[in-house]
Amino acid sequence: MIPAEDAVGLPTEWSEEPAKNIAWKLDLEGFGHSVPVVGFGKVWLTAATKDGKQQFIYCIEQSTGKVLHHKLMYENAEPEPLKNEVNTYASPSCALDKDAVYVHFGTYGTARLNPETAEVVWERKDIKCRHFRGPGSSPIIWNNHLILTFDGIDAQFVMALDKNTGKTVWRTDRTTDYGDLDENGQPKLEGDLRKAYSTPGYVDVNGKTHLISIGSRAGFAYNALTGEELWTIRHDDFNASSPPMFFEGHAILNTGSRGSNLLSVRLDDTTRGDVSVSHVVWNRDKGNSDLSAPILIGDRIFSVLNNGVVNCVNVKTGEEVWKDRIEGTFTASPIAGDGRIYFCNEEGDCYVVEATDSFKLISKNHLSEGMRASPSAAEGHLFLRTFTRLYCIGD
């Protein structure tokens, strides 16, 4: 999430030819969909070779685009093939503390770095999972814990590491009945229906922190301190990639791709066990975003489907407020600032739309390369990661 104070004063128009509002741009080695994470004057992102045999971390000076650190983190002799055209070996984003940067490449490695030197403080390479189509879930920080999510074809679990030492605090396996076994007792489609890419979120429910994580076929809440499973909700979708959203005592979940559900779960002291029926306030079962995560602004949810259909939904009722279309293929999640939403596509276009109860296009901007990485913002600037470059957009 981008702090509200960082998403103000953002530009609404830019271009490369003629040059307008491009503060700097940087060619990147390798590929990745990790979000540029901005903080303390630096931009952090990961990258990898297309074959996954090398994985890198970049640290870039926020104001100039100067590369401060470009570090080879991991070399993999035989990385598991991605088996799709969308993902990369550097899709999870970094997590940032004042005195630490946490980098995560799924099963290939997780590490804490010194943000001044980029030296490794601790690392873990022993957490095993077959990602099949590549990792996607990003780490998050909660108190003294670094929370990691693994939804592979052979193992599905959430775990907490001590962020200072890297030692395991807890690990909880998913309890999902995937219902995907063939007549020989083997998972269908090589276990692909068990895959998910969602990053968790947390919320206080009457003094207890619920860590909410959307997996394949089901979503879960865990006690963030202990990892105890608190409740689960069956949704029967797969490929979940959106983090949860929270609004006035409710969790809003987008459950997957290719016909996902968007639903609201009531959170209170009775939200325990299987809440698939008892606590679902509304369930919107069509017209929801695929790979791009929806965004909550006030009491409205805005989202874009892969095919460019963009819509606005009332978070209290699940009713559609409006629907329109913008051109292109959309996998990056939008960002918002100053009452506007930025939708970036794989063709290099970024549409700026008003976050109101009717569709209003403010501007359409173009870069020479497309985007699958979601944008970020800081101090009146946008940071846009295209397939091979990083742009800082602003005065």
Listed residues 106, 135, 164: the one ending a domain:
135
Domain of residue 345: give its range. 1-28+292-395
The confidence score (pLDDT) of residue 83 equals 83
Tell whether 380 and 300 lie within a shared domain. Answer: yes
Tell whether 2 and 50 lie within a shared domain. Answer: no
pLDDT in tens, 322-337: 999 999 999 999 999 9
Other CB atoms within a 10 A radius of the CB of residue 135 amount to 26
In terms of Cα–Cα distance, which of 306, 309, 308, 295 is closest to 355? 295
Tell whether 76 and 149 lie within a shared domain. Answer: no
**Is residue 2 scored above 60 in pLDDT?**
no
Tell whether 15 and 54 lie within a shared domain. Answer: no
**Is residue 242 scored above 80 in pLDDT?**
yes
The confidence score (pLDDT) of residue 126 equals 98
Residue 101 sits in a domain whose CATH number is 2.40.10.480
Helices (H), the chain: none
**Is residue 216 scored above 70 in pLDDT?**
yes
In terms of Cα–Cα distance, which of 106, 1, 2 is closest to 48? 106
In terms of Cα–Cα distance, which of 133, 157, 155 is closest to 147? 157
Domain tally, the chain: 3
Listed residues 87, 111, 135: the one ending a domain:
135
Tell whether 199 and 165 lie within a shared domain. Answer: yes
Cα–Cα distance measured from residue 171 to residue 124, given in angstroms and rounded to the nearest whole number? 14
Tell whether 115 and 12 lie within a shared domain. Answer: no
Tell whether 297 and 284 lie within a shared domain. Answer: no
- 35-44, 163-172, 254-263, 286-295: segment of lowest average pLDDT: 254-263
pLDDT in tens, 333-374: 999 999 999 999 999 999 999 999 999 999 999 999 999 999
Residue 159 sits in a domain whose CATH number is 2.40.128.630
**Is residue 84 scored above 90 in pLDDT?**
no
Tell whether 55 and 179 lie within a shared domain. Answer: no
Tell whether 348 and 389 lie within a shared domain. Answer: yes
The confidence score (pLDDT) of residue 130 equals 95
Tell whether 345 and 278 lie within a shared domain. Answer: no
Mean pLDDT for 2-19 is 80
Listed residues 272, 288, 304: the one ending a domain:
288
CA dihedral 320, 322, 326, 332 (to 10 degrees): -40
The confidence score (pLDDT) of residue 6 equals 56
Other CB atoms within a 10 A radius of the CB of residue 237 amount to 24
The residues, any chain, with a CB within 8 Å of residue 17's CB and separated by 6 or more, are: none
Tell whether 224 and 281 lie within a shared domain. Answer: yes
Question: How many percent of the chain have pLDDT more than 70?
Answer: 98
The residues, any chain, with a CB within 8 Å of residue 285's CB and separated by 6 or more, are: 259, 261
Cα–Cα distance measured from residue 2 to residue 6, given in angstroms and rounded to the nearest whole number? 7
Tell whether 146 and 280 lie within a shared domain. Answer: yes
Cα–Cα distance measured from residue 291 to residue 297, given in angstroms and rounded to the nearest whole number? 19
